Amino acid sequence: KANRKFHPEDTVIDVNGVKIGGGHFVTIAGPCSVENEKQIVEVAKRVKAAGADMLRGGAFKPRTSPYAFQGLKAEGIELLLEAKKVTGLPIVTEIMNEAYLDLYEDVDVIQVGARNMQNFDLLKALGEIDKPILLKRGLANTLEELLMSAEYIMAGGNEKVILCERGIRTFEPATRNTYDLSAVPALHEMTHLPVIGDPSHATGKRNFVKPMALATAAAGADGVMIEVHNDPSRAFSDGAQSLTPDQFDDVMKSLRAVRSTV
């Protein structure tokens, strides 16, 4: 179902009025983790003012260490819904376990994180609902494997899948992951599904986010996901790669310039 061969036209997904794919470019921005009401509402207002189309924020966090902040869970989703009410931005948040699916009723896009790309029971459960799914590439998975995971969701009847390149593990330690930007044209050839890039997780370094966000747009992606925090040095997670609202505003201005040239 994901194969371009059997479905030549680009799929355009409507997220609460925001279109993505087939020439519709979206910017998804927000903190790595939802931390409290003031933080998420403040960041939501700032990214909206800068021109973001959707708000992201993690409530259930897949952390490498069990001692690291695990997210506000159900309360985090409530706070995202609050920020959505204030700004009107559709919200994107990660799910780690299908047992909690009921909590995502009013979430606009459900994210499957890199670590769960091949959690097949989760993918099957998401195939049975009617809601856009943002599927991130696994840390060490091929594009074929990413598409097979999309297929798990689509096989159940939910064909609203957005793919995300977020960097893969290589031997290069200069960046958190290695941003495989050629995944964008490669996936566009292989599939009709929208493809976005995440330069924040791909690089892990704030100073690399702007150049790689611009490169993502130049490569023809259907959108970018960027982490933004009101006070990155105090962020509960991923502060080193989070932009300040002012830095995000600057990226948005340059993104518009790059997009007008592709």
Q: Name the site residues for Mn ion (rule: CB under 5 A).
A: 32, 238
Residue 229 within binding range of ligand PEP, rule CB under 6 A: no
Which of 23, 62, 157, 185 forms a contact with ligand PEP (CB under 6 A)?
Answer: 62
Locate 190 and state its tokens: 């292989």
CB of 201 to ligand PEP, least distance (A): 4
Is the separation of the CB atoms in 69 and 105 below 8 Å?
no
CB of 177 to Mn ion, least distance (A): 12
CA–CA gap between residue 174 and residue 138 (Å, rounded): 20
CA–CA gap between residue 141 and residue 118 (Å, rounded): 9
In the complex with Mn ion, which residue's Cβ is closer, 194 or 204?
204
Phi, psi (5° rounding) for residue 128?
-95, 0
In the complex with Mn ion, which residue's Cβ is closer, 34 or 129?
34
Is the separation of the CB atoms in 118 and 136 below 8 Å?
no
- Choose from Mn ion, ligand PEP, none: what does 161 bind? Cβ within 5-8 Å by kind: none
Locate 177 and state its tokens: 């992951």
> What is the number of other CB atoms lying within 10 angstroms of the CB of residue 49?
13
Residue 114 within binding range of ligand PEP, rule CB under 6 A: yes
Q: Residue holding tokens 């061969």?
A: 5
Residue 55 within binding range of ligand PEP, rule CB under 6 A: no
CA–CA gap between residue 182 and residue 44 (Å, rounded): 31
What one-letter code names the amino acid at 151?
A: E
Binding mask 151-170 for ligand PEP (x = CB under 6 A): ---------------x----
Which of 26, 28, 32, 153 forms a contact with ligand PEP (CB under 6 A)?
Answer: 32
Closest by CA position to 198, among listed 46, 183, 69, 96: 183
In the complex with Mn ion, which residue's Cβ is closer, 61 or 192?
61
Residue 58 within binding range of ligand PEP, rule CB under 6 A: yes
Residue 201 within binding range of ligand PEP, rule CB under 6 A: yes
Region binding ligand PEP by CB under 6 A among candidate stretches 43-51, 107-115, 148-156, 206-214: 107-115
Q: What is the largest CA-CA distance in the chain?
A: 48
CB of 238 to Mn ion, least distance (A): 4
Which of 46, 48, 84, 136 forms a contact with ligand PEP (CB under 6 A)?
Answer: 136
Is the separation of the CB atoms in 110 and 132 below 8 Å?
yes
Residues whose CB is less than 8 angstroms from the CB of residue 171 and which lie 6 or more positions away in sequence, other chains included = none
Region binding ligand PEP by CB under 6 A among candidate stretches 47-55, 112-120, 150-158, 189-197: 112-120
Region binding ligand PEP by CB under 6 A among candidate stretches 65-73, 83-91, 108-116, 150-158: 108-116
Is the separation of the CB atoms in 237 and 201 below 8 Å?
no
- List residues near ligand PEP by CB under 6 A: 32, 58, 62, 113-115, 136, 166, 201
